[in-house]
Structure 1
């Protein structure tokens, strides 16, 4: 009896102090295909369907006002946290910046381990085009991530030790990785970016999840016909191109969205724009240019082509279809349909039969001027011919940032609604003065759209409108919409608690009623945020976690300015992981509030108009992606109008050409000419003086 009591006491103590641990959750096809408990957020969109829907109801429309902060974890020296975290067995996994993988205890916010892929040491010029990693994958005790230099890595989820690493791209090419891998059937699949920076031909590669050995590769555009075609799909695609497209690469990179469909054992690829954007250069005789801006279905085990649907035949506006592809079962006209929900950049919302690839319906969710409608009989857009800038220039809606970009949407099967973060913006396209017949990609890792960089209206871009849109995919109509502040908004998560979660540029996590859009709560994050939140359960308690922080060169100009409006500027703002739960009582550290950058001027320096014009073009090619259009920056990257560095040619030379700030994320441009460097300085000094004269917007 005494022995039995002693054993009982030991067991109680071991349970109380963590001596017994639950068996680790096995993340595999079974869990990712269907996890009704909602305990884990083990995939990018939680489950294979990419719905970003949680069945949890502990936090709901009736008690969400009691949501409070549990803890925060600051992430110093991290340039970007615009990424989707995962949560498995009470541990949050995420990759910040240039693929620095973290594991954090969800109960306490304690950092468990940190693995640095050291991508900044290896990426070289590729750092110029990458915004950091957007997400991870988890499979059977390992975390998988891509790196800016093109590697795919597998890290042990318990220890943070590297299990294997494989290079997925060619040596010294322009490819880099920013998207999340997909894992299924023991395979891990990864694409890449880079088509905006050189002659890149897109592809997707599958590797053995256990060993890293390559299993298959699918190219998204055809190569040189003289070299033969890899498969019949490439032979078919080549008939839709003209000229010598392969010399320009073609593009079609899968830099973001992929979706695995366990019902049909297919992987769907969302493909990107052409390389260069301007079709007059890469395919001068026109043509559909397959498989640019398409959804492509492949056999998941072999990588063989099954079907495709192209959203923008012969695209010429950077209208990626690399946005999330959500799987759902809907009843349409009285018939049960297995569908894909897709809202690419071009402003239309598509419902596609995912068994056959046939279009069911498509309607506009934003202002669109490039096309009148989508012809349902052919599945093709009815285009506005003027949108292709036949006379050399055109302003087109939506802009190249897209009506919906990579920030993920969400689908709630209870309401039947899709929640889409929408931007209303335009882009001015201009190829006047571009030698279309002999155009070549600029030397080095330079932006190469095939357009006339630096032309158009001077000054910063006009403010854009943004909103969270609740869309009925059956009726193809808006149900509700709420404006989001400052012209930008983040990815979305929804739950069975009749909730929609979305962070905003004003530094708040806002929660809406999923059925009618009523705002139910707004919770301080301390910094403008674009990352979507996740929700999960630990020890019976529901948590909401989000990575808060702004993103590189995106300026946050408010639609209506007031005395407090401004930008999340430079490196002053925090990057942090925050976790909330009902009745949380933790205090949020007080961050600096947004402030307008104050341009600096040197009255002894006179910008020369000819050099300013050359500098505007060079800035657009080399600097704009990070430091912002018209030198109006935001996020982690300094505003060069307000930086003292361009005031000194020697200081500018040390930073730009010699890499003096490479350790802080500023790439080295050792291939920039002295002429361009001087011209960029003249352009920045001119922009600073103009901004001061205009009240420095």
Structure 2
């Protein structure tokens, strides 16, 4: 009887909380409603978090749009966006879309008509300094009780009033002086907001996550993912335990283990699950003398949501050596396995195995490849450890295998449908060669100013004879095998969303935004977005009507693949970046796509200089390729420098690169580069432009 009385008391709170246009309530009412719409069993009218709910399934229970009528889906409205990263996950609450594009520029948009209600620019590029040299901008935002919460490149966590965009509070999450930065979306749970950071690819970083009060910004707890210097003492018993799995003076290298993306809240267990990153540097021989598992690198770590105290972990890659991090999305589900219902967390990380893990205790249930895997023969069910192939740690010279540090699955999220029982994974199928010849612990140095430094040479390539390098893979986590695959034109494809209408939505680099039959993979609807679509879509209702929204345009890591995407004519300056919103019966149209072909800048004074160009190539790869693309062939994340007239003029080039003239546009300043280094860098870019003039830049 007491339980019945409690639920009768709760119902009016939920009803009264639904009236606020900004999703806010007063006191406890708003918090009750916030928890309710973020719960995994919520009705789906809102999409208030990156993965919609705490369990991060990227699944909606809405059914107005289904397999029977999706062919009638049309464009309701579109809104053009300025230059800047469009590869970001929007959210929607009470008929208002919120998104953070570029460097955390937040916009609120009326979902019914596309009218912008307010915007907020934290001026992150100007505040970032050297931190601007890694990352590409925001991948998503969060919502809690009338507040929209964004994280900035320079390390601020900022809460905005959802109705007005006014700053409610701002907290700094790490010092300005180190090489940390933020690109991932914050996650909110039960009145707390948690955020990690990146940076372990370019400096001596020790990873951690921090929880803040979502209403005030007050720090509540912090969990370090790797141990520090034992001489300074350990923050917890977990760090003391982890230290026993390291060797040498690892703390001098930072250790890594950054939580830059994957965070999931298990409300039933009151646990926060953290997907940790790679070692710093990648090379195990350098950071830990080639010894030890190096906890908690490349792991799923469960911590108490109230205190941040360690509860359990499962390490995906002990002694990590390849940037095979565990930072891909982690999705919660209840599955019937061998006749027994199991509460699981599922993840498809970079290393190519699909993991099903008991989320109550970290026990491995199953793990099988969802893509071509040659670095390991399998996962030992008894120990949970990979059965590694010979020389996979490049101990006896160069080694080539699949998948790659780009990942068999990158940050663009998979979706899981409890209706179909399938996970839908944007899958990459490439190979990598590692070689640390000549690189030793004694001569390894971090590249000054946040240049990339992995401690091992590597080259990502297309496997010989491969005709397909990417898929949308529908995967059965119980049977541990693919149900169907859709081949892609290039390795990368967009984040996925599944719905109870029997649909899976996903974008492609070839400009298609597609709805598939969730059971069979049959294409049921395609929309020409006039731009690549890689951002994860969302769905929600406004005035009782179901909408689907996605942001078109390319950005973040897919832009590194310029040599593979050049055939699609993707250009940073001319590509469309748009918010696209669809509903049944709408018939909106888009302007024609502006054709683009890369044309090299005029450079009549260019003369080849092989030695200078080789020096410039090294500088470019360490500092520039992360945005401007491999071999100076940009994929849309930043301008193609082979076509930039600024390179032709040395004074302009110096003003931009060393003087920081375009910091406000997101172009970092490299004031430490010497005259010779600038000359070498410019010479290499000029050489690649000459190749473009001569033979198309192949």
User: Do 1:373 and 1:381's aligned partners in 2 also have CA atoms closer than 8 Å?
Assistant: yes
1:674 corresponds to 2:678: no
Q: Which residue of 2 aligns with 1:651?
A: 652
Distance 1:464 1:651, change over 3 A: farther
Q: Which residue of 2 aligns with 1:8?
A: none
User: Do 1:601 and 1:689's aligned partners in 2 also have CA atoms closer than 8 Å?
Assistant: no
| Structure 2: distance between partners of 1:651 and 1:345 | 40
Q: Which residue of 1 aligns with 2:255?
A: 250
Q: Which residue of 2 aligns with 1:68?
A: 74
Q: Which residue of 1 aligns with 2:448?
A: 443
Bigger shift: residues 181-190 or 110-119: 181-190
User: Do 2:468 and 2:487's aligned partners in 1 also have CA atoms closer than 8 Å?
Assistant: no
Q: Deviations over 1:309-348 (max 9, x none)?
A: 0111111111110111100000001111001111111111
User: Do 1:54 and 1:494's aligned partners in 2 also have CA atoms closer than 8 Å?
Assistant: yes
Q: Which residue of 2 aligns with 1:30?
A: 36
User: Do 2:59 and 2:415's aligned partners in 1 also have CA atoms closer than 8 Å?
Assistant: yes
Find the residue that maps to 1:676 and give its secondary structure: helix
Q: Which residue of 1 aligns with 2:127?
A: 122
User: Do 1:556 and 1:567's aligned partners in 2 also have CA atoms closer than 8 Å?
Assistant: no
- TM-score by length of structure 2 reads 0.93
Displacement of 1:512: 0.2
| Structure 2: distance between partners of 1:90 and 1:386 | 55
Q: What is the Cα-based RMSD across aligned positions, in Å? A: 1.9
User: Do 1:73 and 1:578's aligned partners in 2 also have CA atoms closer than 8 Å?
Assistant: yes
| Structure 1: distance between partners of 2:250 and 2:78 | 50
Q: Deviations over 1:369-408 (max 9, x none)?
A: 2111100110000011322112342223111110001101
Q: Deviations over 1:53-95 (max 9, x none)?
A: 111111111111110001011112x310111111100000011
| Structure 1: distance between partners of 2:22 and 2:250 | 54
- TM-score by length of structure 1 reads 0.93
Q: Which residue of 1 aligns with 2:591?
A: 589
Q: Which residue of 2 aligns with 1:304?
A: 309
| Structure 1: distance between partners of 2:583 and 2:474 | 25
| Structure 1: distance between partners of 2:611 and 2:461 | 17
Q: Which residue of 2 aligns with 1:17?
A: none
| Structure 1: distance between partners of 2:146 and 2:643 | 47
1:498 corresponds to 2:499: no
2:348 is aligned, of 322, 343, 346, to 343
Q: Deviations over 1:218-237 (max 9, x none)?
A: 00000011111100111111
Q: Which residue of 2 aligns with 1:293?
A: 298
Distance 1:157 1:568, change over 3 A: same
Q: Deviations over 1:334-369 (max 9, x none)?
A: 111001111111111000011110101101111212
Q: Which residue of 2 aligns with 1:326?
A: 331
Displacement of 1:529: 1.7
Residues matched between the structures, number: 668
| Structure 1: distance between partners of 2:452 and 2:95 | 42
| Structure 1: distance between partners of 2:421 and 2:460 | 43
Distance 1:23 1:379, change over 3 A: closer
User: Do 2:427 and 2:491's aligned partners in 1 also have CA atoms closer than 8 Å?
Assistant: no
| Structure 2: distance between partners of 1:211 and 1:303 | 18
Q: How does 1:448-467 map to 2 (within 5 A)?
A: 448-452=453-457, 465-467=469-471
Displacement of 1:207: 0.8
Bigger shift: residues 671-680 or 549-558: 549-558
Distance 1:306 1:518, change over 3 A: same
Q: Which residue of 2 aligns with 1:640?
A: 641
Displacement of 1:439: 1.6
1:532 is aligned, of 532, 536, 549, to 536
| Structure 2: distance between partners of 1:240 and 1:536 | 46
| Structure 2: distance between partners of 1:192 and 1:66 | 42
Find the residue that maps to 2:241 and give its secondary structure: helix
| Structure 1: distance between partners of 2:634 and 2:475 | 32
User: Do 1:566 and 1:596's aligned partners in 2 also have CA atoms closer than 8 Å?
Assistant: no
Distance 1:431 1:456, change over 3 A: farther
1:486 corresponds to 2:490: yes
1:140 is aligned, of 138, 145, 155, to 145
Find the residue that maps to 1:123 and give its secondary structure: helix
1:473 corresponds to 2:477: yes
2:96 is aligned, of 78, 81, 91, to 91
User: Do 2:349 and 2:407's aligned partners in 1 also have CA atoms closer than 8 Å?
Assistant: yes
Q: Deviations over 1:484-514 (max 9, x none)?
A: 2233201000001110000110112101000
Find the residue that maps to 1:163 and give its secondary structure: strand
User: Do 2:350 and 2:405's aligned partners in 1 also have CA atoms closer than 8 Å?
Assistant: yes
| Structure 2: distance between partners of 1:140 and 1:675 | 54
| Structure 2: distance between partners of 1:46 and 1:167 | 26
1:359 corresponds to 2:364: yes
1:555 is aligned, of 561, 574, 580, to 561
1:519 corresponds to 2:519: no
| Structure 2: distance between partners of 1:60 and 1:689 | 52
Q: Deviations over 1:76-127 (max 9, x none)?
A: 2x31011111110000001111111110000010000001111111011111
| Structure 1: distance between partners of 2:525 and 2:560 | 26
Displacement of 1:146: 0.7
Distance 1:457 1:487, change over 3 A: closer
User: Do 1:205 and 1:218's aligned partners in 2 also have CA atoms closer than 8 Å?
Assistant: yes
Q: Which residue of 2 aligns with 1:16?
A: none
Q: How does 1:267-286 map to 2 (within 5 A)?
A: 267-286=272-291
User: Do 2:598 and 2:643's aligned partners in 1 also have CA atoms closer than 8 Å?
Assistant: yes
| Structure 1: distance between partners of 2:460 and 2:385 | 31
User: Do 2:431 and 2:460's aligned partners in 1 also have CA atoms closer than 8 Å?
Assistant: no
| Structure 2: distance between partners of 1:171 and 1:660 | 21
User: Do 1:126 and 1:174's aligned partners in 2 also have CA atoms closer than 8 Å?
Assistant: yes
1:166 is aligned, of 155, 159, 171, to 171
Find the residue that maps to 2:494 and give its secondary structure: strand
Segments ≥4 residues shifted beyond 6 Å: 20-23, 455-458
> Which structure 2 residue ranges, 5 or more long, are not aligned?
1-18, 25-29
1:569 corresponds to 2:571: yes
Q: How does 1:399-438 map to 2 (within 5 A)?
A: 399-438=404-443
| Structure 2: distance between partners of 1:271 and 1:558 | 29
Q: Deviations over 1:586-613 (max 9, x none)?
A: 22122314x3423346354222221122
User: Do 2:135 and 2:183's aligned partners in 1 also have CA atoms closer than 8 Å?
Assistant: yes
User: Do 1:486 and 1:556's aligned partners in 2 also have CA atoms closer than 8 Å?
Assistant: no
Q: Which residue of 2 aligns with 1:578?
A: 580
Displacement of 1:456: 9.4
| Structure 2: distance between partners of 1:636 and 1:352 | 35
| Structure 2: distance between partners of 1:489 and 1:322 | 18
Find the residue that maps to 1:349 and give its secondary structure: strand
Find the residue that maps to 2:621 and give its secondary structure: helix
Q: Which residue of 2 aligns with 1:151?
A: 156
User: Do 1:393 and 1:430's aligned partners in 2 also have CA atoms closer than 8 Å?
Assistant: yes
| Structure 1: distance between partners of 2:244 and 2:66 | 53
> Which structure 1 residue ranges, 5 or more long, are not aligned?
1-19
Find the residue that maps to 1:212 and give its secondary structure: coil
Displacement of 1:645: 2.4
